[in-house]
Structure 1
Amino acid sequence: MSKVTVLGAGAWGSTMAQVLSDAGNHVLVWGRNQEIVNEINTSHTNRKYLDENVLPLGLSATTNLSEAFEYSNIYVLAVPAQTLRENLKSWKPLVDSDATYISTLKGIEVSTLSRMTEIVHEEMNTENVALITGPNLATELILRQPAGAVAAAPTKILAEKTLKLFATPYYRVYTSTDVLGCELAGAIKSVIALAVGISIGMGFGENTQAMLITRGLNEVARLCAAHGADPLSAAGLAGMGDLVASCGSPLSRNRTFGEVLGRSGSMAVAREHVAKTVEGVASSNAVLEIAHRVGVEVPVIEAVADVVAGTISPSDALDRLMEITTRAENFIR
């Protein structure tokens, strides 16, 4: 049993706090919104993000950063990916020098093309950084429906420590030391989910979705391999598992945003209808730049990035994908 601080009181932070609490840990959630913090402490709900679902009674929350960092030296990161570096800079004077950081974030920093764990390394000057990732939709996980995840860390010891923090009867956690592969896969799948959502919004069915998911997985695997990661990570929970959940569920923000974009052909309309953070939109061009940096062709990712940038329409993107010259289908080429 450990004390754990969860930094972020949104849907994902609150859901991760529940998992950690159910795993037997003492958990304190930090958030900026005083109303949400008060609600967690008094009625044990977070209706803005999680409807009427009741959080564990032992879970507490605070808006006081000093209190949050004094509570423990295990910090679970659940803030929006594009704000991580800014947050870490402001938190640095308050953190425990021996702290362990566990990222739950999926994305690539737009300005630097850095992965989330790389940002923690850079800003906090520590190697004690792990990652938990996989097909975990908050709306289902908060109901304690069975789910799987990967705890990835530079060392087996840290990966095992992370596993023990999160493992519950309904949350099955596996370990990996391929942080790079697991993290890349989690970031890239958001872009593929946008592509699938766009196709659904345009009225296309399962055949089109299956093509985009499969070819998208191929792009994930080739990008992982080109960076020296284990391409098999793309076939596991961090890759294929997360891709299936994000592309197949209407609960996925990336797929939902893509559907509105496919129907309307307008980024402005899509942003109006899906107000929450959509990481595939923020990261699409960054993921494309990462691919260009290592010379990997990623036509699905490139098409999505161009649609998000407004340089082509969704129908133009699909036409472009269908005109690409085909060749022997290999998982990694």
Structure 2
Amino acid sequence: MSKVTVFGAGAWGSTMAQVLSDAGNDVLLWGRSQQVIDEINSSHTNTKYLGSHVLPSAIAATTDLSSAFEFTDIYVLAIPAQQLRTTLQEWKGNFSSDCTIVSTLKGIEISSQMRMTEVIVDVLGPHKIAIITGPNLADELVLRQPAGAVSAAPTLELAEFVRDVFRTPYYRVYTSIDVMGCELAGAIKSVIALAVGISIGMGFGENTQAMLITRGLNEVARLCAAHGSDPLSAAGLAGMGDLVASCGSPLSRNRTFGEVLGRSGSMAKAREQVAKTVEGVASAQAVVEIAHRVGVEVPVIEAVAEIVSEQLSPADALQKLMEITTKGENFIR
């Protein structure tokens, strides 16, 4: 059994705390809201984010940052991706040189086009850093429905350690040493899920969704290959698995946001109706810039970026996408 601190008491952080507790760990959950933290400690619920679901009574929660860091040297990050740099800069003095940091964040930093682990290294310097990623919708995982994930780290030893910390009878964790590929796949799938949601909102059916998912996966694989990572990561849980869950489930924020956007044609209405962090909206243009940097064509991702930046309407973007010259269907080229 390990001691683990989870930073972030939203739906995802609370769900991760439950998984870690079910895995036999001693878990401390940190959050900013005193009201949320008091409720978790007194009632073992987090009604703001998880409704009436009851969390394990063994989970303790705190708003005290010093206590959260002093509790252990294993830290799980479950905070919004675009707030990562600012948050780490505030917390920088609390991380010991030998601590283990596990990122559960999926996204690309807008200002730098860095992946989340790159942001961590940029702010904190070299550490033992791993990620947990995969098709893990919080509303299903918190119900202990069977799910799979990937523990990716620069070394197999660290990936296996993190796997063992998270593994439960319902949470099946595989290992990978392709951090870049798993992270890119996890970030880009949010943009593809937006595209699928937009098509659903426009009234299109399974054929359109299948085209966007498959060609989107092709873009993920080519981007992974262009960066020197394993394109097969795009075909695993971090890529295809996460893509299927995000594109196929109404629980997915990205798909839900896309549906409202496709139906209304209005970013303002979509933001009004989906009042939660939608990482695909934030990351779309950053992913396009990453692709252009390595000379990879990403028409599906570009279409989404043009829609969310309000350069094109959903109808015009889809028409532009359909007019692109087709080539031989090769997964990597």
TM-score above 0.5? yes
Describe how 1:1-333 pairs up with structure 2 within 5 A: 1-333=1-333
- CA deviation vs aligned residue, 1:73-102 (integer Å, no higher than 9, x gap): 000000000000111111111222211000
Partners of 2:29 and 2:87 lie apart in 1 by 15
Where 2:76 maps in the other structure, the secondary structure is strand
Partner secondary structure for residue 232 of structure 2: helix
How far apart are 1:288 and its partner, in Å? 0.5
SS at match of 1:325: coil
Alpha-carbon distance, 1:249 to partner? 0.2
Larger deviation: 304-313 or 118-127?
118-127
User: Among the aligned pairs, what percent are the same residue?
Assistant: 76
**1:45-77 Cα distance to aligned partner (Å, 9 max, x none):** 111111111101100110000000000100000
Give the distance between the partners of 1:185 and 1:94, measured in 2 at CA: 30
Aligned to 2:149, the other structure's residue is in SS state strand
* Coordinate RMSD, CA, aligned: 0.5
2:319 partner letter: D
Q: Which runs of 5+ in 1 are unaligned?
A: none
Distance 1:289 1:125 in 2: 25
1:151-204 residue CA offsets vs partner (Å, 9 max, x unmatched): 000000100000001000000000000000000000000000000000000000
Q: Does the CA-based 8 Å contact 2:198-2:262 persist in structure 1?
A: yes
1:10-34 Cα deviation digits (max 9, x unpaired): 0000000000000000000110000
Residue type of the alignment partner of 1:106: K
Cα deviation 1:236-272 (Å, max 9, x = unaligned):
0000000000000000000000000000000000000
Residue 126 of structure 1: how far off its partner (Å) = 2.0
SS state at 1:327 partner: coil
Using the size of structure 2 for normalisation, the TM-score is 0.99
Distance between the aligned counterparts of 1:182 and 1:144, measured in 2? 24
Supply the AA of the counterpart residue of 1:77. Answer: L
- Report the 3-state secondary structure (helix = DSSP H, G, I; strand = E; otherwise coil) of the residue aligned with 1:312: coil
8 Å CA contact retained: 1:134, 1:238: yes
Once residues 241 and 186 of structure 1 are traced to their aligned partners in structure 2, the CA distance between those partners, rounded to angstroms, is: 10
CA contact (8 A) 1:69 1:96 kept: no
Which secondary structure state, in structure 1, belongs to the residue aligned with residue 186 of structure 2? helix
Number of aligned residue pairs: give it.
333
Q: How far apart, CA to CA, are the structure 2 residues paired with 1:127 and 1:332?
A: 32
TM (normalized to structure 1)?
Answer: 0.99
Distance (whole Å) between structure 1 residues aligned to residue 15 and residue 127 of structure 2: 26
Aligned to 1:175, the other structure's residue is in SS state strand
Q: Which piece of structure 1 moves more, 207-216 or 115-124?
A: 115-124
The answer on whether the counterparts of 1:3 and 1:26 sit within 8 Å (CA) in structure 2 is yes
Residue segments in structure 2 that go unaligned for 5+ positions in a row: none
Shift of 1:327: 1.4
Distance, in Å, in 2 between the alignment partners of 1:292 and 1:126 is 28
Compare 14-23 and 323-332 and name the one that shifted more: 323-332
Rounded Cα–Cα distance in structure 2 between residues aligned with 1:96 and 1:154: 19
Partners of 1:174 and 1:190 in 2: CA distance: 21
Is contact 2:28–2:59 with CA below 8 Å preserved after alignment? Answer: yes
